[in-house]
Amino acid sequence: MSEYAIRPLDTETWDAFARLCEKHNGMGFGECWCTAFHPRRKDLGVDVESGRPYKEFLVREGRAHAALVFDGEAAVGWCQFGTPEELPRIIHRKEYEAALACLPDYRLTCIFVDRNYRREGVAAAALDGALDLIAKAGGGVVEGYPQDTQGQKVSASFLYGGTRSMFEKAGFDYERPKGKNHCVMRKTVEAIGNE
């Protein structure tokens, strides 16, 4: 297995992120470009096309965050994270809010791995990278919504939120179910200095 490097999604890493998205047809799901959990364009009053133009706008404005996993100069995966204001559109929202005691400081909404790197630790590296970037940004309560596979084999296209077992290995606690096969998991991340 290669040594992976973690870099934040920003204007310097945008081209590598865009190449990975293009390789996978904009991430499927209607060429999402990992924007499904962001506010709708109309809610922000943004006059850009959906997909790539919208994601690039969010990145350039500092409104999109992710831990990108690099193998050399190629981005091979990521874990998207952000505040609830940055990522308000979660799946099964009504059910989620009905049992919500307090909002987290950060949400982890999407984990993606290049098809040529699956089952090589990229998803776990992306999750760990996101937690490290959150710690450097001040830490706080972090929430994820992984698939609770219950030991069953599931197509990678349905694992956009990662798996419960991967989150457990990263120190998250199970809170409750959300939707048919997903769950809410939380972890408090301590702040660390930018060294």
Ordered by where they begin, the domains of the chain are 5-189 (3.40.630.30)
Q: Is the whole model's pTM more than 0.85, yes or no?
A: yes
Check residue 1 and give its pLDDT. 45
- Cα distances (angstroms) measured from residue 59 to each of 169, 177, 183: 30, 31, 28
Amino acid at 181: N
Check residue 102 and give its pLDDT. 94
| Tokens 């609830």 -> residue | 84
| Tokens 């096309």 -> residue | 49
Sheet architecture: strand order including 74-82: 5-8, 65-71, 74-82, 106-113, 140-144, 182-189, 173-178
What is the pLDDT tens value at each position of the chain, 195 positions in all? 458 999 999 999 999 999 999 998 877 666 789 899 999 999 988 899 989 999 999 999 999 999 999 999 999 999 999 999 999 999 899 999 999 999 999 999 999 999 999 889 999 999 999 999 999 999 999 999 998 877 666 655 556 788 899 999 999 999 999 988 889 999 999 999 755
